[in-house]
Structure 1
Amino acid sequence: WVLTNRKPEHRKGRVQLIDATQWYKPLRKNLGKKNCELSEEDIRRIVDTFLTFEETEQSKIFPNAAFGYWKVTVERPLRLKGIDPEREYGAKEIKALRETAERADDAPPVIKKIHKPGTAPDPLRGLFEKTIRGKQRVVEYEPDTERRDSEQIPFLECPACSEPGYLPTPEDTRTAIEAFLRREVLPYAPDAWYDPASVKVGYEINFNRYFYKPKALRTLEEIRADLLAVEKEAEGLLEEIIGGSLGTKGLEKLIWGSGK
């Protein structure tokens, strides 16, 4: 790792990853688990790649935001059979219901709070519009801890974050998270929401994501040739086993006897 807070202008807001896994010299004799080392040539190659600061097969350059993400807790409502779907339940009542009532996907969600008239609905943040005793009200549902999930949303969901050095603003964060949830979560869980207070920021550098090269799959012709070879070998072994243990006359007797 080369870390500094005094980057030249062309490196600011960017991270360079170098794959030097194939640049090494094997040792003549292992030193414990160590079986290779960097030669002077390998070191020079790494340094030159770093100083050149260009995109190659072994050198990748990314904006800082490419490694950042928001970890968001996604909630689903607690759905229980036999409850009043238009009533607000207190904490003690909900605790008792969790122990006695039966969960079901088609059961009504448990309301933990009915807001005063005039509260604006915001379903993605857990404020749902619902008809209560013939009137439109905004309610909050009790989350089901067994259905709680989390999403890791990349900073690059924010278009401006692709600019080197740009850090997402609170508005960028809200817009990116909600756009992601609408696209990736709500089509499969339309009653889901997230708690903005649960949002955490993280960074991860996964070299395999950028440098891993999967092995080419074998062609159908190669697989077919191998299968035919194995089949032919198996037939030869069978003939050898039967012929060797019974002899020609014994084999004929076995064949004729099995046909009766």
Structure 2
Amino acid sequence: MAGPTTAERGAEEDLRSGPSPLGKLPGPRTLIILIVALVLLGAAIVWVLYGSSWLRVERVSVSGTRVLTQAEVDETAEVPLDAPLISVDIDAIEARLRQKLPRIDSVEVARDWPHGIDLKVIERTPVLIVENSGNGGKYAEVDAKGVRFATVPEPPKGVPVLEMELARSAGSSRFGTERLVRAAVGVAGDLPAAVARDTRFVKVRSYDSISLELADGRTIAWGSREKGRAKARTLTALMKAAPGARHFDVSVPTAPASSGS
């Protein structure tokens, strides 16, 4: 039997080899056209972002304020109106707000395309008030982190006043004033909600001797800030068991006591 012809062998080789995986490469003229098109596209994008009037800052919105006013935040932010939105330094705006308005705990600055800047503010919440006798009888607000962030002429309603009545002892010298303030803040944060609303004074004699005075004159010996949750549970149960008592002691939560009537 005769073998395949030359033409048949050539066709079989073409089938085995298949088309080139790279295909046909574009010529120099096509490459030049593609490069020019990409350059023009990039220039158009840059012009739209920076040179046109389509994506510029026209408004600033402020949300989340409680004590601060929106106008105060807006003025402090110093957002450049009519500037290209893409060029606004949002990190600088955030740093400026936190530095100049210490009442701000955190702030989120975001671009709101095509024309806005959004400022979402979270203000610090006072947990305690410290009387500042050297500042005309004003009060410093202290948040849950122990940060003194604002001075007010009168205590805000529902926020207890911190009284530092430090006892002179060898042990008390180990604790600085700021550490004692943070300890008092921790105690205020651990109080049962009903007691916290009624607390008027948090008194600190030492790290291990913190007490509370309620609006009706009842007192609570809390001790240190350690085991705060256990003390809170014990205090709630103790107040229910002795509703007429005037003094409660939960400094040792496993051995509470109450007295007075």
Q: TM-score per shorter chain, which class? A: under 0.3
- The higher-RCO structure (CA 8 Å, 6+ apart) is 1
